[in-house]
Amino acid sequence: MQIETTGILINIKPFNERDALAHIFTCDNGVLVGMLRGAVVAKKNKPLVGQFGRISWNARLDSQLGVFHFENEKNLSAPLMMNTDLLKIMNCVFALIYTLIPERESYNDLYKKTFALLNDLNGTDNPWDLYLDWEINLLHDLGYALDLTKCSGCQKTNDLCYLSPKTGRAVCRDCGEPYKEKLYKLPVDLNVTKKFLCDVCDVQGIKIPQIRKML
Sites of contact with Zn ion (CB under 5 A): 151, 153-154, 172, 175
Q: Dihedral of CA 131/136/140/143: which sign? A: positive
| HSE of 54, CA atoms in CB hemisphere, 13 A | 2
- Please identify, using beta-carbon distances, which residue of 8 and 175 lies nearer to Zn ion: 175
- Please identify, using beta-carbon distances, which residue of 18 and 156 lies nearer to Zn ion: 156
Tell the smallest beta-carbon distance from residue 185 to Zn ion (Å): 15
The DSSP letter of residue 179 is G
Tell the smallest beta-carbon distance from residue 148 to Zn ion (Å): 13
- 151 and 175 Cβ atoms separated by less than 8 Å: yes
Tell the smallest beta-carbon distance from residue 158 to Zn ion (Å): 10
- Please identify, using beta-carbon distances, which residue of 156 and 194 lies nearer to Zn ion: 156
**Spatial distance between the Cα atoms of 200 and 144, rounded to a whole number of angstroms:** 8
Tell the smallest beta-carbon distance from residue 189 to Zn ion (Å): 21
Residues in the chain: 215
- Please identify, using beta-carbon distances, which residue of 102 and 165 lies nearer to Zn ion: 165
